Amino acid sequence: MLILASTSQSRKKLLENCQIEFIQISSGFDENSIKEKNILKLALELSFQKAKSLSENIQKISWPEEYKCGPFEILGCDSIFEFKGEAYGKPSNKEEAFIRWKKMSGEFGLLHTGHTLIIGNFDSISNTFKITKIIKKTVSSRVYFSKLEDWEIKSYVDTNEPLYCAGGFALEGIGGKYIEKIEGCFSNVMGLSLPWLRKNLYK
């Protein structure tokens, strides 16, 4: 059984659209506790810590009978947008989102998503989870933005969508019309590389 250690609605939708059976549970991990300057390493470490946190607390979850014994694959993901060497998380307010989009207009950046799969077996009788394998990788995609007028940026920022997204944009949302093209994995820009997951989930 695949467990998505995230409350992300975009990742949830990606898995549902692909008809991959899964359970979604928040990892409960404090992202601010990780201090890492390298953006690629940061995305990977955050994904690992999310999956690890859930694996360490899996025995506290009340499972339906059919899930109480057997293999589990815990998936942790974290996305960070890099623009000219600077990490862009979620903008703190509309002013910051507007300033970012002014910079990104007509430019490109890199969306890095750290992926971690912790594979193991949960035994409800002994209430233990034994890890058998850990698979980790950061997948990067290059995102090209349209050249926008100030009124277009303001209109987009006023929707509040940028405030809830890594990098200040959502490919699958309103912001999708401001993205010219993508080089690399498409679904990765939405927070989860489906080709990576398919390759590693069924090894």
pLDDT at res. 1: 86
Per-residue pLDDT of 9-52, as tens digits, reads 999 999 999 999 999 998 887 777 788 889 999 999 999 999 99
Query: Residue 22: which domain range?
Result: 2-201
Per-residue pLDDT of 147-157, as tens digits, reads 999 999 999 99
Per-residue pLDDT of 155-165, as tens digits, reads 999 999 999 98
Catalytic positions, written as ranges: 78
> How many C-beta atoms lie closer than 10 Å to residue 36's C-beta?
13
Q: What is the C-alpha separation between 157 and 94, in angstroms, rounded? A: 6
pLDDT band of residue 176 (cuts 50, 70, 90) is: very high
Q: What is the C-alpha separation between 116 and 67, in angstroms, rounded? A: 21
Structural domains of the chain, count: 1
Q: CATH number for the domain including 113?
A: 3.90.950.10
